[in-house]
C-alpha cells in the first residue's frame, strides 16, 4: 500500500468514526457511489442499522468464526476488513460474498462505518 492510499484510508476511517459518533441510523446506511449488482439484484445502499440490535453473543460468534479462519493470536480483529465485512453481513442480513464483491472504496466505507460504530464514543 502506498503512502497516498494510507492517507486517504486514514481520512476515510476518521470520517467514518466521526459519522458514527454523531449517532443516528442514517449514518449506518451507506450510499453506494454507483449501483452494485449482486445475484441479479441492484443495490444503491447498504443498511447497517442492524448493528444496533447485535449483542455480545453476536460479537463472540463473529470472533469465533474469525479465529477459526485465522488461528493464533488475533489482536483487534475488528480493525480488519474481513472482520468488518463479517459484522456488516450479519447486520445487513446479506451473505459475506455480497461484501467481498464490493469495489474497494465501498469496502473501505463499510469497514470505517463498522469501526466507527464499535469505537464511537457514547
Q: How large is the average pLDDT for residues 61-87?
A: 89
pLDDT of 22 higher than 60: no
Q: Could you tell me which residue, 2 or 48, shows the higher pLDDT?
A: 48
What pLDDT shows up at residue 94? 97
What pLDDT shows up at residue 78? 80
pLDDT of 14 higher than 50: no
Q: Nine-digit cell at 3?
A: 503512502
What pLDDT shows up at residue 35? 96
Q: Are 35 and 101 in contact (CB under 8 A)?
A: no
Q: How large is the average pLDDT for residues 97-101?
A: 97
Number of domains into which the chain is organized: 1
What pLDDT shows up at residue 73? 80
pLDDT of 11 higher than 50: no
What pLDDT shows up at residue 108? 95
Q: Are 43 and 36 in contact (CB under 8 A)?
A: yes
On the 0-12 / 13-18 / 19+ scale of CB atoms within 10 A, 89 is buried
In this prediction, residue 25 has a pLDDT band, given cuts at 50, 70 and 90, of low
Domain span at residue 43? 3-119
Amino acid at each position: 500500500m502506498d503512502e497516498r492510499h494510507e492517507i486517504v484510508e486514514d481520512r476515510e476511517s476518521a470520517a467514518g468514526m466521526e459519522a458514527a459518533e454523531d449517532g443516528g441510523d442514517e449514518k449506518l446506511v451507506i450510499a453506494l457511489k454507483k449501483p452494485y449488482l449482486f445475484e441479479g439484484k441492484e443495490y444503491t445502499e447498504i443498511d447497517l442499522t442492524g448493528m444496533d440490535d447485535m449483542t455480545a453473543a453476536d460479537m463472540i460468534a463473529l470472533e469465533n468464526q474469525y479465529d477459526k479462519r485465522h488461528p493464533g493470536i488475533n489482536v483487534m480483529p475488528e480493525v480488519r476488513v474481513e472482520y468488518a465485512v463479517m459484522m456488516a453481513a450479519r447486520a445487513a442480513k446479506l451473505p459475506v460474498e455480497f461484501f467481498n464483491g464490493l469495489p474497494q472504496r465501498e469496502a473501505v466505507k463499510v469497514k470505517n462505518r463498522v469501526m466507527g460504530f464499535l469505537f464511537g464514543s457514547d
